[in-house]
Structure 1
Amino acid sequence: MTQIDQFESVFRAAAHDAFEYDVVAFPRVLFVTDGNAEQSKAFIQQTLDYATNLKQSEIELVHGEEFRTTDELLKKVTAHHPDLICTYRNLHSKAWKFQHSLGEHLDVLLQRTEAPVLVMPHPEAGFANLDALRETKTVMVMTGQLVNNHALVNHAISFVAPEGALYLTHIENKAVFERYIDAISKIPSIDTDDARKHISHQLLQDPIHYITSCQEILEEKGLSLKVHSLVSFGHHLTEYRQAVESQAVNLLVMNTKDDEQLAMHGLAYPLAVELRQIPLLML
């Protein structure tokens, strides 16, 4: 390595991406249910008691008597132009009895609408953690790419109750990392142990520095929340679930859309199916 290459590496290692804070609000909130207007009142009230940041929003409703098919639902939602959609799993379906899907109506909402979707446990399923539905005291962001994911973090911040906690979680894919280390081990000119040590360190340092910048900026803004860091390697769904359960999370915030495919982003779908007991904010 030349001296120029060494200098560039040191410079790049010292340069860190900083969090960019932006206030996220939801002037128009659309509730989507499969009951009639009267039956929907309890769900709306429960959601507003849980997510108090929505109490100043203009509330609109598309209830179950207004749509049956996914096309009808999309037309109704498009006509309202909501900033946020609030609904629950397995709309117009009895599949809420089984832990294996979100339901076709919710799948379509998540992939075909621009607005983020707050997904609540199904009112009749009995899977909900009632303590988790009291308030958004503990909000967790879960992603494999936290750095520069400002929108995801800002949406999570908007839901944290006063004096609440925000957990910023970055899970680096361990299986992918090991595959690259295996490839490096077959290149004689590269020291495998040295590569493992420095690459793993750098992969985790970037999100750690990003979270630190988030803590500093939110403190400067005077926001009354605590920011916690959970950064590690992992790849098993159980590890993600344990992180949620160990911190008694009230709301999990995830990316769901993937610009390169129609299917849901990364681990978002299996996580959404598995974590039925708490609300999810899916962007």
Structure 2
Amino acid sequence: MSSVDQFESVFRAAVKDVYHHKPIKVESVLLITDQNEADSVKIKQQLQQFSPQLCSNSIQWHINAGEKSKTTEALLQEVEAVKPDLICSYRNLYSNAWQYPHSLGEHLDVLLQHTTIPVLVIPHPKASYAGKHALTKSSSVMVITDHLTLDHDLVSYGVAFTSPGGNLHLSHIEDEAYFQRIIKAISKIATINTDDAQEKLAKQLLKEPHDFIRSCPPALTEANINLNVIEHVNFGHHIRDYKKLIEEHELDLLVMNTKDEDQLAMHGLAYPLAVEMRQIPLLML
């Protein structure tokens, strides 16, 4: 490596992505259900007690209720007419497929992929799989991603939906299997020391999200926000490890990205998590 390359590497390693807090305010909510009006109002009341972000009397609530099936086009037209800051709904609208952990349902899929509005996905009101504490509080919230340093908005939404004094878990799990594939490929290049590359690459991959998370508490303090920031940065398996974290920390809400700039389909990490993590609410951006 030339001296110029060495200098560039040292310089780039010194550059750190620092969290910049952006206040999130929800002023309008669209609640979409396939329940009758009375049951839909009960869901609204649950949501109001669930998060400090939703309890304000100034929020304008729009309830799209009714057991009669609506087309996805009709729902998108409703979203366009209301222009809410947040959509609240659940899996498998107008369907009995909520009994099986296999899909989100076409209506929720469309809401997640064809609007730019965050969607709060709650456990199905008829299902028995919801956690005992689901929708009762939001004092333990986890932001999950595989590239935390690029997700300032994701963290800001996590902050907004965590109760004052609560725990904000910031997690970054590097895919262990993918990392080992890279190391296996490196091991076939004679000019690279495999052990050295594995050690330094692993260290750098975890250092970046670690440094980013360390920058969050000072930013929140400056914004007069009282939260406990808890770090989870390691190698592992996304689904298995997040299930374990939910159980260990009795999480009330998961916050994740849904959109993928490079494809029309849902972000690769979001879909399997959304299908399997049915016991607590998910905030999907």
Bin for the TM-score computed over the shorter chain: over 0.9
User: Which residue in the other structure is 1:125 paired with?
Assistant: 127
Contact 1:24 1:155 in 2 (8 A): yes
The letter for the 2-side match of 1:2 is: S
2: CA distance between counterparts of 1:236 and 1:160? 23
User: Which residue in the other structure is 1:10 paired with?
Assistant: 10
Contact 1:133 1:278 in 2 (8 A): yes
1: CA distance between counterparts of 2:228 and 2:210? 15
Q: What RMSD, in angstroms, separates the aligned Cα atoms of the two structures?
A: 1.3
The letter for the 1-side match of 2:21 is: Y
Contact 2:173 2:238 in 1 (8 A): no
Q: Deviations over 1:174-216 (max 9, x none)?
A: 2221111111111111100000000000000000000001122
> Which is worse superposed, 192-201 or 219-228?
219-228
**1:93 and 2:70 aligned:** no
2: CA distance between counterparts of 1:50 and 1:31? 14
- TM-score normalized by the length of structure 2: 0.96
Contact 1:19 1:148 in 2 (8 A): no
1: CA distance between counterparts of 2:78 and 2:132? 31
Which one of the candidate residues 195, 200, 207 is aligned to 1:193? Answer: 195
Correspondence list, 1:1-283, <5 A: 1-56=1-56, 57-64=59-66, 68-283=70-285
Q: Deviations over 1:59-99 (max 9, x none)?
A: 11111267611111111121110110011121111111112
2: CA distance between counterparts of 1:176 and 1:2? 30
Shift of 1:253: 0.4
2: CA distance between counterparts of 1:120 and 1:6? 50
Shift of 1:114: 1.1
Percent identical? 51
1: CA distance between counterparts of 2:150 and 2:270? 19
Q: Deviations over 1:149-186 (max 9, x none)?
A: 11111011100001101000001122221111111111
Contact 2:93 2:107 in 1 (8 A): yes
2: CA distance between counterparts of 1:3 and 1:97? 62
Contact 1:258 1:264 in 2 (8 A): yes
Shift of 1:236: 4.8
2: CA distance between counterparts of 1:66 and 1:226? 44
Residue 140 of structure 1 aligns to a residue whose secondary structure is strand
Shift of 1:55: 2.0
Residue 52 of structure 1 aligns to a residue whose secondary structure is coil
Residue 277 of structure 1 aligns to a residue whose secondary structure is coil
- TM-score normalized by the length of structure 1: 0.96
Contact 1:110 1:282 in 2 (8 A): yes
2: CA distance between counterparts of 1:97 and 1:173? 30
Contact 2:52 2:162 in 1 (8 A): no
The letter for the 2-side match of 1:14 is: A
Shift of 1:226: 0.4
2: CA distance between counterparts of 1:277 and 1:18? 33
2: CA distance between counterparts of 1:163 and 1:3? 49
1: CA distance between counterparts of 2:185 and 2:235? 19
Point out 4+ residue stretches in structure 1 off by more than 3 angstroms. none
2: CA distance between counterparts of 1:125 and 1:38? 18
Q: Structure 2 stretches of 5 or more lacking a match?
A: none
Shift of 1:52: 2.5
2: CA distance between counterparts of 1:107 and 1:25? 25
